[in-house]
Structure 1
Amino acid sequence: MDEIATSTLLMILGLLLFLSAYFSGSETGMMSVNRYRLRHLSQQDHAGAKRVQYLLDRPDRLIGLILIGNNLVNIAASAIATVLCIRWFGDAGIVVATFALTLVVLIFAEVTPKTIAALHPERVAFPSSLILKPLLTLMYPIVAAVNFITNGFMRLLGINPNTTLGHDALSSEELRTVVNEAQSMIPSSHQDMLLSILDLEKVTVEDVMIPRAEISGIDVQDDIKLIIKQLSQAQYTRLLLYRSEIDDAIGFLHARDIMQIVTKTSGDADKAELIRAAREIYYIPEGTPLNVQLLKFQHNKERIGLVVDEYGDIQGLVTLEDILEEIVGDFTTNIAPTPSESVSPQEDGSLIVEGTANIRELNKEMNWELPTSGPKTVSGLIVELLGDIPQHPLCLRIDGYALEVLECSESMVKQIRFIPNESRHLEQQNLFS
């Protein structure tokens, strides 16, 4: 070492520091690259992405290779720096070399290259893979030996080195974060739909069903002329046919079948023909998540079903369109959002809300946060809280919302006045303006 010129040692030291910076930057760049974008580029036959994907398939070998190279050049740089400083400063050169090399390595071989690699991982990882891939092949025996020793030590500590963390699998909440963070890349309408799809598993059929009391149906016990009139004035393409009460349901009548019967009989259809034309009822257990029910509709080739409780009593009606509206929003030609028909704004800023209003729909349309874990309607929420049908007028507060019960019947709350606070009042003014 004493025979080597100082200038030569300086050039070797500079080369070693450059290699140290390369290994440090490569490690950060490889570990910071977006795995999903990397997989996409690999499928598009991007050469650099394929090389990086190959190296990251076994991260223990990649890290082992980089750390072997990084430690090797750092130790060599330390030895050369010590020799140079002893030549320049004598016995004090050891101390000088320690502090000086630490500062140089920290700034130029650690912080700077790693920061650059973290900011631009692909620009660092793809070119680095040109060197690291053949270097891994060349040094494979050493890397394998190091990995064998480290894996054995990890097993002694009770850690299984072969345990994977699911690689890049994301939970629904993590996917939600990814969608929210991709605002500039995904149109807001598409973003809302993606988030709605993720929410389907949290919503059950009771949240979107038409309540039992609002189901449009035909009672076969009625006079045939009244039935024909109801059929001709029906607003829906499918009507429930039942005897006396909803629980004694017969089946669904499709508008197409009704038209065929009326045409065939010249308007003189009888009840027997209507009953024969009724299609079999598809039943849905209450509590079924919407994502599950959507798949069941698809698998069974159904578009409509009756929600029943554990005793078989009918609770409501759900259609495929109800579930799709949870994803894409209401099917309407009006682009601007409109408040629910069950909400009537008042001049004093308060809102008159029908007791049958669905809580989830109110929360979405009015930006409210009424509790949705219990009853599905505002009336049910108030009755559950009070434990009885209230006497009106009555004022109460639910989760910070001031309410005034305006009208009740023997079985439900019919009208409620919501008195918003200042911040909610401004939001509602914007909504109804």
Structure 2
Amino acid sequence: MDDISTGSLFILLGILVLLSAYFSSSETSMMSINRYRLKHLGNEGNKGALRVQTLLERPDRLIGLILIGNNLVNIAASAVATVLGMRLYGDMGIAIATVVLTLVILIFSEVTPKTVAALYPEKVSFPASFFLLPMLKVLYPLVFLVNGITNFILKLLRISTDDSDSGSLSREELRTVVHEAGAMIPKKHQDMLVGILDLEKVTAEDIMVPRNEIVAIDINHEWKDIQKQLINSQHTRVLLYRDSIDDAVGFVHVRDALRLLSKDDFTKSSLLRAVREIYFTPESTPLHTLMYKFQAVKERIGLVVDEYGDIQGLVTLEDILEEIIGDFTTSMVPDHSKEADTQQDGSVLVDGSANVRELNKEMDWHFPTEGPKTLNGIILEYLEDIPEANISLRLAGYPLEIIEMKDNVVKTVRIMPQFYLAQDSHKAD
């Protein structure tokens, strides 16, 4: 380098520092880029995205290429800076060049370009890939050699290079992505997407209409009573049974009953002939599985049974859809649960038979959903006894007062959500 002028060496040093910044920013931008957005842009034919995708197919080779280039440039810059230091300051120039070059590389070739690349990965990686891709082809033998030696050392250390993350997202990670979308996805759509993800966790038992609330008709009743019940029914499908709901006959569609009536053949025997077969499902069936089964058997309604085959409730396709898109309503005004009545003092009177999951969703509460499904159930489980009226307790952080008891069942509870305490803020209720 003795024949090269000092000015030319300064220019060469500046170019080497810029090249070092290029390799540093390329590495950070390639590793920071959103892989899913990259795939989307690649599917749309974006050339920069396609080049980056090609480079990221083998990230070990990409990193090897960038580090080879970065180290070569930094070593060359160190040599040039040493020569300049000795020319300008003699033997002391070596120390001065080392300190100055370290600061220059740290500021202009590491921190600054990497920060920019982390903030704008697409704007940095797409242009950078234009040079990296042909460079990889030229330096492939060297990159292959370096990666081969590295992989051999990893194998000696019993570190497998095949156990890399596939990049797929778990259900919980997808839920986080949906919530982090912010204004890009409307709140209602976010709730729907999360509802779909949660179908696997929710079972038929969680959403079923309890056995005691099933609207059904005893076929052994007087024919006039049966006619009256069918006429006044608010449901299009009604369950028929003999004496006990455990002896269920089947579902009758109101449309079939009207057809029989139009033909003047509306009798108990003709109604029994119009009965449709019952679809049974275990109470532990996840909702996504139940939805597929409804689709396969062309059903919209079924009875939920326990492990002994006893009928525990009724579930419909509409119940599953409500888990995804929310409750159906004919009013444009949001309607709160009919089982929860907010008082002027901020407390809420709740029916003991209210479903805990529904209360949590509608009132934004945090009662436990694993275990008993009703408010009465979780109170009895917590107390391990049949309580009396006017007893107060704190359950899941909420102060409760049992207002009314009937037939050993909690009928009405006063809940004071304004005094809610998060579970991690106290050790015991």
Is TM > 0.5 for Structure 1 vs Structure 2?
yes
* Match for residue 294 of structure 1 among 291, 295, 317: 291
Residue 79 in 1 paired to residue 76 in 2?
no
Q: Deviations over 1:201-251 (max 9, x none)?
A: 222211111000000111111111211111111100111111111111111
- Following TM superposition, by how much is the alpha carbon of 1:33 offset from its aligned partner in structure 2, in angstroms? 1.1
The alignment partner of 2:71 has SS state of: helix
Which deviates further from its counterpart, 24-33 or 413-422?
413-422
| TM-score (ref. length: structure 1) | 0.94
Question: Runs in 1 of length 4+ with deviation above 6 angstroms?
Answer: none
Q: Deviations over 1:179-218 (max 9, x none)?
A: 1111121111111111222222222211111000000111
The alignment partner of 1:416 has SS state of: strand
Q: Give the match for residue 199 of structure 1.
A: 198
Matches within 5 A, 1:34-183: 34-166=34-166, 168-183=167-182
Which deviates further from its counterpart, 82-91 or 415-424?
415-424
2-structure distance, mates of 1:91, 1:394:
89
Identity %: 60
Q: Which amino acid aligns with 2:243?
A: S
Q: Give the match for residue 270 of structure 2.
A: 273
Q: Deviations over 1:386-425 (max 9, x none)?
A: 334323233332123222222222242222222343579x
2-structure distance, mates of 1:400, 1:138:
66
| TM-score (ref. length: structure 2) | 0.95
The alignment partner of 2:199 has SS state of: helix
Q: Is the 8 A contact 2:281 2:303 kept in 1?
A: yes
Q: Deviations over 1:146-199 (max 9, x none)?
A: 111111111111111133211x21111111111111112111111111122222
2-structure distance, mates of 1:333, 1:40:
39
Which deviates further from its counterpart, 50-59 or 197-206?
197-206
2-structure distance, mates of 1:259, 1:247:
27
- Following TM superposition, by how much is the alpha carbon of 1:58 offset from its aligned partner in structure 2, in angstroms? 0.5
Residue 226 in 1 paired to residue 216 in 2?
no
2-structure distance, mates of 1:420, 1:119:
42
Q: Give the match for residue 189 of structure 1.
A: 188
Q: Give the match for residue 424 of structure 2.
A: none
Q: Which amino acid aligns with 2:241?
A: Y
Identify if the C-alpha distance between structure 1 residues 228 and 333 changes in structure 2 by more than 3 Å, giving closer, same or farther: closer
The alignment partner of 2:346 has SS state of: coil
Q: Which amino acid aligns with 2:263?
A: K
Identify if the C-alpha distance between structure 1 residues 107 and 10 changes in structure 2 by more than 3 Å, giving closer, same or farther: same
- Following TM superposition, by how much is the alpha carbon of 1:131 offset from its aligned partner in structure 2, in angstroms? 0.5
The alignment partner of 1:202 has SS state of: coil
Q: Give the match for residue 426 of structure 2.
A: none
1-structure distance, mates of 2:25, 2:344:
65
Q: Is the 8 A contact 1:82 1:94 kept in 2?
A: yes
Which deviates further from its counterpart, 318-327 or 412-421?
412-421
Q: Is the 8 A contact 1:60 1:147 kept in 2?
A: yes
Residue 403 in 1 paired to residue 362 in 2?
no
Q: Which amino acid aligns with 2:324?
A: I
Number of matched residues? Answer: 421
Q: Which amino acid aligns with 1:292?
A: T
* Match for residue 314 of structure 1 among 302, 311, 314: 311
Q: Deviations over 1:63-102 (max 9, x none)?
A: 1111111000100110111011011111111111111111
**Structure 2 unaligned residues grouped into runs of 5+:** 422-429
2-structure distance, mates of 1:347, 1:191:
32
- Following TM superposition, by how much is the alpha carbon of 1:10 offset from its aligned partner in structure 2, in angstroms? 1.4
Residue 12 in 1 paired to residue 12 in 2?
yes
2-structure distance, mates of 1:399, 1:100:
62
Q: Which amino acid aligns with 1:28?
A: T
Coordinate RMSD, CA, aligned? 1.6
Q: Is the 8 A contact 1:306 1:317 kept in 2?
A: yes
Matches within 5 A, 1:194-273: 194-265=193-264, 269-273=266-270
1-structure distance, mates of 2:126, 2:347:
61
2-structure distance, mates of 1:179, 1:310:
37
Which deviates further from its counterpart, 365-374 or 95-104?
365-374
Which deviates further from its counterpart, 31-40 or 403-412?
403-412
Q: Give the match for residue 305 of structure 1.
A: 302
* Match for residue 380 of structure 1 among 377, 381, 384: 377
2-structure distance, mates of 1:241, 1:298:
23
Q: Give the match for residue 28 of structure 1.
A: 28
1-structure distance, mates of 2:208, 2:328:
16
- Following TM superposition, by how much is the alpha carbon of 1:2 offset from its aligned partner in structure 2, in angstroms? 1.4
2-structure distance, mates of 1:84, 1:350:
80
2-structure distance, mates of 1:94, 1:334:
81
* Match for residue 336 of structure 1 among 315, 333, 337: 333
The alignment partner of 1:75 has SS state of: helix
The alignment partner of 1:201 has SS state of: coil
Q: Which amino acid aligns with 1:132?
A: L
Q: Which amino acid aligns with 1:135?
A: M
